[in-house]
C-alpha cells in the first residue's frame, strides 16, 4: 500500500515586506536581491501570528480540502525550525487548536522538514494502523533573523502549508523517496548556542544545496523507476532562484515544469514545499518530484504519482 496527498491548505501572514521596504533601512537594493535571489517580497508574522496559529490555519484548510473532519486524522506531524517555545512541541498546540485526537510530534529537519514528515507519515500509513495523517510545515523565521543583517534579512519569510495523506493503491501516491543528513556541516547554517539570530555561510550553503538537490532527486528518481522526462512537476525547496535554476539545469528538468514562488514568499523553510505545492496545477496521474535541503545539512526528496481521492 502507498499513500497519497488528498488535501492541501496554506496560511500566510497578511503583512508583506517588499524589497523596497528593506532598501529603506538596510544597505541593500531591489536590484541586488532580485538578481542574486529572485525574491521580490516575503510575508512577516503579525503580533497575533505564531508558528502554531499558522499551522492550525493551514491544517484546518487541508482537512477541509480532503473532505474530512478532525476526528478522522490519525497522526499529526509538524515540521518546523521555529517553534514558538522550546517545550512542549508546536504539534501539541496544533493538536489542541484543531481538536484532533491522535498522536502528535514535531520534526526538526529545517527546510527538509516537510519532506521528512511526509515520508514518515506515508510509511506509518502503509503499516495500516492509521487511515489518515496531517503533515504541516510552519515557520515564523523572521523572528529568528537579525533585522539589521542584510545577508539573511532579505531571504527569509513566514508561512505554513499542510497536507492530508491517505492510503493509495500501489503505483499511486508516494513512489520513492530519499532522506539524508551530513552533520559535519552544522556550522554553515545555525543559531549557535546562546545566540538569538540565524547565522549562515551563504556561499557554502549555496554550493552544497545544488549538489544535495541534484543527488537526492537522482536517487529518488532511480528508486521510483523514473527519469527526469517522467516528471510533470518539480517542486523544489524555495531558497534562491539561482539554486533552483542550477539544480534544474543539472537534472534536465525544464523551467516550465518547475514551480517557483520564492519571488512572493522568500525562503519559508519547512513551509516552502507545501506552499509551492499549492501553486502546482497538478492533476491525477501527474508525477510530482519534491526536493528540499536545509540546515544540518539535511536533504529529502519524494516522487509522488498524484491521486487526489483517497482509496475507498
Ligand atoms: O534553506 C537554506 C537556507 N539558505 C540558503 O539556501 C542560502 C544559500 N545561499 C544563497 O542563496 C546566496 O549565497 C546568498 C543569496 C545568501 C548570497 O548570494 P551570493 O551571490 O552568494 O553573494 P555573496 O555572499 O557572495 O556576497 C556577494 C556580495 C558581498 O559583498 P562583497 O564582499 O563582494 O563586497 C556581500 O557582502 O554581496 C554582499 N551582500 C549584499 N549586498 C546587498 C550580501 N547580502 C547583500 C544584500 N544586499 N542583501
Q: Would you say the CB of residue 37 lies under 6 angstroms from ligand 1?
A: yes
C-alpha cell read off for 306 = 498524484
User: Model confidence at 1, in pLDDT bands (50, 70, 90)?
Assistant: confident
Q: Count of residues for the chain?
A: 312
What CATH number matches the domain at 173-305, 3.40.47.10, 2.130.10.10, 3.40.50.1820, 3.40.630.30?
3.40.47.10
pLDDT at 256 over 80: yes
- For residues 139 and 160, is the Cβ–Cβ distance under 8 A? yes
Please give the number of the atom of ligand 1 that sits closest to the Cα of 237. 1
The domains of the chain are located at: 2-168, 173-305
Centroid of ligand 1 to alpha carbon of 307 (angstroms): 39
**Per-residue cell: 91:** 504539534
103 Cα to the center of ligand 1, angstroms? 41
| CA 88 – CA 17 distance, rounded (Å) | 30
3-state secondary structure of 134: strand
Render the burial of 134-172: b for 16+ CB within 10 Å, e for the rest: bbbbbbbbbbbbeeeebebbbbbbbbbbbbbbbbbeeeb
- Nearest atom within ligand 1 for CA of residue 153: 48
pLDDT in tens, 17-56: 999 999 999 999 999 999 999 999 999 999 999 999 999 9
Is the fold of 2-168 the same as that of 173-305? Answer: yes
pLDDT confidence of residue 309:
87
Phi, psi of 138 (to 5 degrees): -140, 135
Is residue 145 in contact with ligand 1, taking CB distance under 6 Å? no
Nearest Cα residue to 232 out of 275, 291, 279, 286? 286
Using an 8 Å Cβ cutoff, are 260 and 242 in contact?
A: no
Average pLDDT score, the chain = 97
Residue the block writes with cell 517545550: 87
pLDDT tens for 189-229 read 999 999 999 999 999 999 999 999 999 999 999 999 999 99
What is the position in ligand 1's atom list of the atom closest to the CA of 22?
Answer: 48
- The finding on whether 241 has its CB within 6 A of some atom of ligand 1 is no
What is 2-168's CATH superfamily? Thiolase/Chalcone synthase (3.40.47.10)
Amino acid at each position: 500500500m502507498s499513500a497519497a496527498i488528498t488535501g492541501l491548505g496554506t496560511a500566510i501572514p497578511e503583512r508583506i515586506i517588499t524589497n523596497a521596504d528593506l532598501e529603506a533601512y538596510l544597505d541593500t537594493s531591489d536590484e541586488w536581491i532580485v538578481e542574486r535571489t529572485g525574491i521580490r517580497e516575503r510575508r512577516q508574522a503579525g503580533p497575533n501570528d505564531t508558528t502554531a496559529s499558522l499551522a492550525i490555519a493551514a491544517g484546518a484548510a487541508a482537512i477541509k480540502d480532503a473532505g474530512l473532519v478532525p476526528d478522522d486524522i490519525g497522526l499529526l506531524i509538524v515540521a518546523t525550525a521555529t517553534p514558538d517555545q522550546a517545550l512542549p512541541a508546536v504539534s501539541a498546540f496544533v493538536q489542541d487548536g484543531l481538536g484532533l485526537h491522535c498522536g502528535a510530534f514535531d520534526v526538526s529537519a529545517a527546510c527538509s522538514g516537510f519532506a521528512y514528515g511526509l515520508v514518515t507519515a506515508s510509511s506509518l500509513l502503509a503499516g495500516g494502523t492509521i487511515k489518515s495523517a496531517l503533515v504541516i510545515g510552519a515557520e515564523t523565521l523572521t523572528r529568528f533573523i537579525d533585522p539589521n543583517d542584510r545577508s539573511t534579512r532579505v531571504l527569509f519569510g513566514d508561512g505554513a502549508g499542510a497536507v492530508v495523506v491517505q492510503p493509495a493503491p500501489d503505483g499511486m501516491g508516494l513512489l520513492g523517496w530519499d532522506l539524508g543528513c551530513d552533520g559535519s556541516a552544522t556550522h554553515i547554517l545555525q543559531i549557535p548556542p546562546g545566540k538569538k539570530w540565524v547565522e549562515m555561510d551563504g556561499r557554502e550553503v549555496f554550493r552544497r544545496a545544488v549538489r544535495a538537490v541534484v543527488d537526492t532527486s537522482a536517487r529518488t528518481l532511480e528508486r521510483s523507476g523514473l527519469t527526469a522526462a517522467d516528471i510533470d512537476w518539480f517542486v523544489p525547496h524555495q531558497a534562491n532562484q539561482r539554486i533552483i535554476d542550477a539544480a534544474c539545469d543539472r537534472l534536465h528538468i525544464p523551467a516550465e515544469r518547475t514551480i517557483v514562488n520564492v519571488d512572493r514568499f522568500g525562503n519559508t523553510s519547512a513551509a516552502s514545499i507545501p506552499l509551492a505545492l499549492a501553486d502546482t496545477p497538478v492533476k491525477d496521474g501527474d508525477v510530482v518530484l519534491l526536493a528540499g535541503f536545509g540546515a544540518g545539512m539535511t536533504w529529502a526528496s519524494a516522487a509522488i504519482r498524484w491521486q487526489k481521492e483517497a482509496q475507498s
